[in-house]
Chain A
Amino acid sequence: QVVQSGAEIKTPGSSVKVSCRSSGNTLATYTISWVRQAPGQGLEWVGRIVPIFGVAHYAQKFRDRVTITADKVTTTSYMELTSLTFEDTAIYYCATEETGSSTWGQGTLVIVSS
């Protein structure tokens, strides 16, 4: 099971940090991806991390303002997005993945509003 943190309302220019906790595994064999979905829009890949190596990769679009981390002890991943704009309003999903399966969190709504 993957559980994400609750909804956030942020102002333009601020940052948001969303958590994603995976229960029942040690993250040793998983990667964790982050995907977002703006209202009424399609899916957009943000980035992913391989916790066992601590290595993250990001979509070019977000590369200068997103950081994805993973804590193997607490089996929790975090996605921090800085310099928020109205266009960052979206549901942010995380998913733990291994070959042939993925388990998704419930999504975290981030609203950017002045």
Chain B
Amino acid sequence: EIVLTQSPGTLSLSPGERATLSCRASQSVSSSYLAWYQQKPGQAPRLLIYGTSNRATGIPDRFSGSGSGTDFTLTISRLEPEDFAVYYCQQYVPSTEGFSFGPGTKVDFK
């Protein structure tokens, strides 16, 4: 079983700052199968990034993803007020045809 770990647990920043979120897998994950989601309180999750670095439909270009192997990163270049939320990475494991999520990183106001 591949386990995803996200760090930091909470990231306290101000609007306009750069946010760098980390997702680490216990074993190598195909870049094609790593995604990022955003969730705001009381709302359903929203797909941000798929295939490590591809922005989903309608996602602004201040969101970018990178990484390979076991280390992946979500970067928000300049935080907007609406970006303060919880972010989850997700992997797909072809051998089990299953998905799993990391525990999440909360981005909140400093």
Contacts and interface: CB of A to CB of B under 8 A. Distances in A.
B96 A45 contact: no
Interface in A43-72: 43-45, 48, 57-60
Interface residues of A, number: 22
Interface stretch (A9-17, A79-87, A96-104): A96-104
Interface of A is mostly: strand
A57 B45 contact: no
Instruction: Determine the main DSSP class of B at the interface with A.
Output: strand
A42 B104 contact: yes
B60 interface: no
B97 interface: yes
B56 to A, nearest CB: 6
B78 interface: no
B45 A35 contact: yes
